[in-house]
Amino acid sequence: MPHHTFVLNGKAVTVDIESDVRLLWVLRDVLGVTGPKYGCGVGVCRACTSHVNGRAVTPCTVPVGDLAAADEVTTIEGLPATVGRELHPMQEAWLDHDVAQCGYCQPGQIMAAVAKVRQAREAGRDIGEADLDEIRNICRCGTYNRIREAIVAGAQRF
């Protein structure tokens, strides 16, 4: 069986699994990382959103064989370590704005928000309404207004 090595939440990991197995299943079923949620399995709902090298991806669509040994995968579990705190500022904003209802989509929502804020900053600007409109993660509870408010507030904290 093929070996696949990548960096997960700051630590190198190696898994023995076929190359076409999607990263979401490797994270959840092989490595026991349950923050990225299975929703649709085809990248539509984005409940599994995580980061690969700082960019938002849907691990349900990424074959583990596409990762290189130096690729850094960050899930909600590893997000606070990216800022050296117990909670990431975006997670704090989520709590302050009482975003979650059922909570199922929230890890993916937060990961998408952090990536979008970083993208805006790399472009030399603050996050704006157009950026918020580009975030397509589905929230079945419909807390979109609180999500948007929390993203703006969280962006001001980091």
> Could you give the C-alpha distances from 151 to 84, 106, 129, in angstroms and in order?
20, 12, 11
Neighbours of 20 (CB within 10 A): 10
Calpha distance 93→89 (Å, rounded): 6
Across the 158 residues of the chain, what is the mean pLDDT of every consecutive 10-residue run? 96 98 98 97 97 98 98 98 96 97 95 98 97 97 97 96
- What digits encode the pLDDT tens for the residues 101-146? 999 999 999 999 999 999 999 999 999 999 999 999 999 999 999 9
Contacts for 1 with CB less than 8 Å, ≥ 6 apart? 16, 17, 18
